[in-house]
């Protein structure tokens, strides 16, 4: 599974390396560990999407985090974000949007911020091979 993720990241880097108007590519690990560095930054991040009804959406670092409700390894997503048709809970997706730091959450178990507004959410290349399932 690690090689598939590495290949997908490589594809993204190759596609966006020449276009400087693209959002900053940031790993979930960096956003979660140093959120202060990315406050009000337009980012592209990859993770497993959590969909709860029409309102609550989040992006998780790992499938295990999603399945076990480890919200410390997640970012909230703008509730108004539109999902591509067929997006299922646990799908691996790329999310492009503005990262907003939640200063009250830094250093706590809760996630350190959210993405809002969101420009796009797209299934990640090879996502069908690494979808999170219960």
| pLDDT at 17 (0 to 100) | 42
Least confidently predicted of 56-60, 79-83, 127-131 = 127-131
Q: Give the CA angle between residues 40, 83, 43 to the nearest 5°.
A: 25
Name the CATH topology of 2-129: OB fold (Dihydrolipoamide Acetyltransferase, E2P) (2.40.50)
32: left (phi > 0), else alpha (psi -120 to 50), else beta? alpha
Reduce the secondary structure of the chain to three states and give it as a string. Answer: CHHHHHHHHHHHHHHHCCCCCCCEECCHHHHHHCHHHHCCEEEEEEEEEEEECCCEEEEECCHHHHHHCCHHHEEEECCCCCCCCCCCCCCEEEEEEEEEECCCCCCCCCCCEEEEEEEEEEECCCHHHCCCCC
**What number is the average pLDDT over the span 107-115?**
76
**What number is the average pLDDT over the span 88-104?**
91
| pLDDT tens profile 6-53 | 444 454 444 444 344 689 999 999 999 999 999 999 999 999 999 987
- Indicate whether this model's pTM tops 0.85: no
**Cα 130 from Cα 1, distance rounded (Å):** 7
Structural domain boundaries of the chain? 2-129
């Amino acid at each position: 599974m690690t090689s598939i993720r590495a290949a997908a990241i490589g594809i993204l880097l190759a596609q966006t390396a020449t276009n400087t108007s693209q959002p900053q590519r940031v790993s979930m690990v960096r956003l979660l560990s140093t959120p202060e560095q990315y406050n009000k930054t337009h980012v592209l991040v990859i993770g497993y999407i959590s969909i709860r009804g029409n309102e609550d959406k989040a992006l998780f670092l790992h499938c295990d985090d999603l399945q076990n409700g480890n919200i410390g390894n997640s970012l909230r997503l703008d509730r108004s974000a539109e999902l591509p048709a067929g997006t299922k809970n646990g799908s691996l997706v790329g999310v492009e949007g503005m990262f907003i730091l939640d200063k009250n959450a830094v250093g706590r178990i809760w996630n350190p911020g959210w993405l809002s507004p969101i420009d796009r959410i797209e299934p990640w290349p090879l996502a069908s091979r690494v979808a999170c399932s219960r």
